[in-house]
Structure 1
Amino acid sequence: MKSLYIIKAGSTFATEVARLGDFEEWVRRGLGDVACPVAVVNAEGGEALPAPELCAGAVVTGSHAMVTDNLPWSLGIERWIRELIAVRVPFLGICYGHQLLGRAAGGEVGYHPRGREVGTVSIELTPEGQRDSLFEAIPARFVAHATHAQSVLRLPEGAVHLAFNGFESHHAFQVGESAWGVQFHPEYTREIMQTYVRDEIAGLEAVGEDAGALREVVSDAPFAGRVLTNFASFVFRTL
């Protein structure tokens, strides 16, 4: 039987893993009940990616790495994503995975010209996003957790633009019939987001910058998590 693969592209802070778990665990919890086996592949750690014909679907996690560093394991995921798209394997890229999808399909990834987006942010769906199965039962405006320095600066040709906000033009898009990327983190809880905001505040204060704007920006994001359960439902329909 085919499996739904979670491709681990990084880890959270080493000091927080014991308390919070790690990226792949957050994604697995967020997917909920899945009608096929779920397997984790640690691509950053050197584990081999599965053949596309073995995949019922795939989710690529976030990472503390940068796509433009062109690390060998990251370039390997990028090539693999192109293989998945070619045979229409359901795919969801989250943050780093979203950016890898963008570049794999011919878009441009780089540092956001306005710097880092961190916190619980407002997201707006485009008309196409409001009709897309990935955002089923999610309102046209909702909040989600985000933390990223790089972005998909230019969407791939033919991609469908699904979501944005005042800071990030490309918070979600679709390539082909069954590949999606979301720049925000549907797997994050409020506690996880608070941990990342604290880290960002510490980093800003360490170089003498004002972190006040980040201090009151974390709230619950009840709708964003439905992206993962909606993706799991899409995978089930394609089995």
Structure 2
Amino acid sequence: MRIGILQAGHVPPELAASHDDYGIMIQRMIARGGREFSFTIFPVVDDRFPSAIDECDGYVISGSRFGAYEDHPWIRRLEQFIRDCFTVSLPMVGICFGHQIMAKALGGRVEKAAAGWGVGTHEHRLLSAPGWHDRPSIEINVMHQDQVVELPPDSRVIASSSFCPVAALEFADNGLSFQGHPEFDNGYERALIEARRGGVVPEAVADTALAKLPGGDLARDADTLSRWIADFLHAAH
């Protein structure tokens, strides 16, 4: 199965020497899910898209420093690409910005949340997730200020928290999206928080998140989400 990774952003320049770019992070994350895929990375943030939607059998949209509501030609083109994929039921997964742009493209609404920045490791309650009944919640790294605040038609919330009510969505039979970052290992999450501390992320918010980051390489449920995403793409094809 051919998976296209629609890379909507790049690792900040100051972190690029020691961390892979987002497309590689997502490829590695999905590979941990135990399914056989081939991958092609499309840097859509640089306006490099698949030549046609059937160039791949499914797509994953990465995070981005841009907002889904921003008016950039590549974002408008990505929204249309999403709608075209859904018209023919191609499986699609969104992560952070990908979660938000899928919701917006299909009729939802995204805005900066009054709650402010969510960074570090957050826990999201599982509300309705077929086949995912082995746990009541997922714990995952997050890095966002924007949130989905209005659902698109034919979608349902499958994970939530008091900070982020729409933490994951299921779209009909061929879409799945998460606000969190299963592709961010703890080392990159820490480095990104430190880089943004006192800038876009308030110092107090950053310091609280840094103090609570767990040991080990990955957030507690990063591998669980990798399996869910891989299984979803495999089953939806």
| TM-score (structure 1 length as normaliser) | 0.89
Aligned to 2:211: 216
Deviation at 1:217, TM superposition (A): 2.4
- Name whichever of 189-198 and 214-223 sits farther off: 214-223
- The residue type paired with residue 114 of structure 1 is A
Counterpart contact for 1:94–1:182, Cα < 8 Å: yes
Say yes or no: does 1:22 pair with 2:17. no
CA 1:36 to 1:200, structure 2 compared with 1: closer, same or farther past 3 Å? closer
- The residue type paired with residue 143 of structure 1 is E
Aligned to 1:117: 118
Counterpart contact for 2:174–2:236, Cα < 8 Å: no
CA distance in 2, matches of 1:237, 1:172: 19
Which of 178, 182, 188 in structure 2 is aligned with 1:182? 178
- The residue type paired with residue 18 of structure 1 is A
CA distance in 2, matches of 1:231, 1:204: 30
CA distance in 1, matches of 2:57, 2:219: 28
Counterpart contact for 2:169–2:178, Cα < 8 Å: yes
Deviation at 1:191, TM superposition (A): 0.6
CA distance in 2, matches of 1:31, 1:138: 20
Aligned to 1:159: 155
Secondary structure of the residue that 2:232 maps to in structure 1?
helix
- The residue type paired with residue 100 of structure 1 is I
| TM-score (structure 2 length as normaliser) | 0.90
Deviation at 1:137, TM superposition (A): 6.9
Q: Map of 1:16-165 to 2, 5 A cutoff?
A: 16-32=15-31, 33-126=34-127, 128-129=128-129, 131=130, 133=131, 136=132, 139-165=135-161
Deviation at 1:199, TM superposition (A): 2.3
Counterpart contact for 1:138–1:226, Cα < 8 Å: no
Counterpart contact for 1:187–1:225, Cα < 8 Å: no
Deviation at 1:35, TM superposition (A): 2.8
Which blocks of at least 5 consecutive residues in structure 2 are unaligned? none
Counterpart contact for 1:92–1:181, Cα < 8 Å: yes
Counterpart contact for 2:173–2:236, Cα < 8 Å: no
Percent pairwise identity: 22
* Aligned length in residues: 231
- Name whichever of 138-147 and 20-29 sits farther off: 138-147
Residue by residue, what CA displacement relative to the aligned partner does 1:143-199 show, whole Å, maximum 9, x if unpaired?
Answer: 110011111111112311100111000000111101011000011111111112212
CA distance in 1, matches of 2:134, 2:47: 36
Deviation at 1:141, TM superposition (A): 1.5
- The residue type paired with residue 20 of structure 1 is H
Deviation at 1:230, TM superposition (A): 2.4
Deviation at 1:95, TM superposition (A): 0.3
Counterpart contact for 1:105–1:175, Cα < 8 Å: no
Residue by residue, what CA displacement relative to the aligned partner does 1:74-120 show, whole Å, maximum 9, x if unpaired?
Answer: 11111111111111111000000000010011000110111111111
CA distance in 2, matches of 1:195, 1:210: 16
Say yes or no: does 1:193 pair with 2:193. no
CA distance in 2, matches of 1:238, 1:175: 12
CA distance in 1, matches of 2:46, 2:35: 25
4+ long deviations beyond 3 Å: 209-212
